[in-house]
Structure 1
């Protein structure tokens, strides 16, 4: 008869195959075996209680620390890790001391609908992290089921607006006219709108990546998984508008030794958080001074690129590994043109 697997069992624990399933028992030193029943999670807990070592075994707080040591965590991109670390804050405030085996579907639903009702989209990301942690507990024999899979996520409404051309032009021109770092931020916005790249893809863009002879800019595409990570190169054609933008950026390049196209005041590439804070500050100021009629996010510029590209060229650009994602998330056209019979 095949022996039951020992994964998740403590030393001196034994799994025995019975007609009705698998039962567990513990062998204390110099004493008779102790029957633990047929529930593996409860059997482990009984042994730990006997040893006075139950402590924080199987708690979400401990699983979070263990999760960061797994090979799965190491495969995540830096941005994904940072996002999960931000999700862990509010999640651990509620579930840190709770054992994965004790969490039930109503607990997850309450977290999504009540405790995080003011941040429903963010709560979905946090629930995804909780699901990963409970999944780890199941692998370690510290839980039997994942209640997160039984609860529907909060409904997410994708953004439907793209910046109007007059708002985008007014914002970028206003910044460019001020010169200095404000002009750099404005031209970064122009680049995002013209080339359609994500911030993470071009904030560290260097001059050697711009080949003015062949007329191309080469950038590594972000959000690629598995073997494609870091291997998909976007070769962006330098249109007349992009060439004109590059010319203005070169005119601002005081230090010829600086490699970065969009450099901060110290000559380094902008960090993601530093750029985000600066852009938000300038957007608030532009709205207050009525330079634009409505605020927009930097990520909306990617949608602006897709929408304008479709209007001018009649088709969507190749921005995503899945073309359907480009159409669903970034195409915000108000008018759909088609031919009749």
Structure 2
């Protein structure tokens, strides 16, 4: 598997967006440590499940990202003739650990649009003066927001900025409204598996 991951890094990652490349160069180290000595054909859905659950104990966001990367690596392993099935696809993505959406307060769109800024902007999230923020700037600002919210007991656990989309989709689905168009995905199955957190499943403990 280490050879497949190495080939993926050399041939596939360079074709991705620069921001994705940076992330993909960090995530394979964990995948190599866990699956590197295994043959692609020997990896099972149970192996993936155990990895995701163990990884989520230290970082739920990383668990989700590394699972997604592993799925794409296995997809290429199939094309390169190393295996026939993708064990990550067999594991329903709703199993992937995610934050409790009850801890996400309704996103204060109205409050954000009413903030007075020296520079007018069409972007919702900006710096204090209204100028666009860099990707790293947004990550830093979000991290500080999470730290403050945890310290003030406003939320019980950290969550990713993109989890706001999952909450919105979940709320819309619960209300019987169309959520597919808002998510930007053409496939209803992707919306249900990735964003609709009402269908998240929990494993029963083994006796």
TM-score under structure 2 length normalisation: 0.56
1:128 aligns with 71
2:168 aligns with 305
Per-residue CA distance 1:149-205 (angstroms, 9 max, x = gap)? 3685484356663446xx44xxxxxxxxxxxxxxxxxxxx53xxx4xxxxxxxxxxx
Alignment size in residue pairs: 183
Q: Answer yes or no: is 1:93 the counterpart of 2:33.
A: yes
Could you say which structure has the higher strand fraction? Answer: 1
Tell me: CA distance 1:150–1:269, structure 2 relative to 1, closer, same or farther (3 Å): closer
User: Contact between 1:105 and 1:147, CA under 8 Å: does it hold in 2?
Assistant: yes
1:270 aligns with 134
User: Could you tell me how far apart the structure 2 residues matched to 1:158 and 1:285 are?
Assistant: 20
Deviation at 1:259, TM superposition (A): 8.6
Deviation at 1:262, TM superposition (A): 0.4
Larger relative contact order (Cα-Cα within 8 Å, sequence gap ≥ 6)? 2
User: Contact between 2:78 and 2:84, CA under 8 Å: does it hold in 1?
Assistant: no
State which of 133, 143, 146 in structure 2 corresponds to 1:283: 146
Bigger Rg, which one? 1
User: Could you tell me how far apart the structure 1 residues matched to 2:194 and 2:46 are?
Assistant: 29
User: Could you tell me how far apart the structure 1 residues matched to 2:143 and 2:55 are?
Assistant: 20
Deviation at 1:330, TM superposition (A): 4.1
Per-residue CA distance 1:72-128 (angstroms, 9 max, x = gap)? 5455444544443233111233565x5xxx826445678536666512655633532
State which of 106, 112, 117 in structure 2 corresponds to 1:252: 117
Structure 2 gap segments, 5+ residues each: 57-62, 199-207
Q: Answer yes or no: is 1:161 the counterpart of 2:98.
A: no
State which of 73, 76, 83 in structure 2 corresponds to 1:146: 83
1:112 aligns with 48
2:177 aligns with 315
Match of 2:33, SS?
Answer: helix
User: Contact between 2:71 and 2:86, CA under 8 Å: does it hold in 1?
Assistant: no
CA-based RMSD: 4.6
User: Contact between 2:45 and 2:87, CA under 8 Å: does it hold in 1?
Assistant: no
Tell me: CA distance 1:160–1:110, structure 2 relative to 1, closer, same or farther (3 Å): closer
Could you say which structure has the higher helix fraction? Answer: 2
Tell me: CA distance 1:107–1:269, structure 2 relative to 1, closer, same or farther (3 Å): same
Structure 1 gap segments, 5+ residues each: 1-58, 139-144, 169-188, 195-240, 334-341
Per-residue CA distance 1:36-87 (angstroms, 9 max, x = gap)? xxxxxxxxxxxxxxxxxxxxxxx734x54543454x5455444544443233
Tell me: CA distance 1:111–1:277, structure 2 relative to 1, closer, same or farther (3 Å): farther
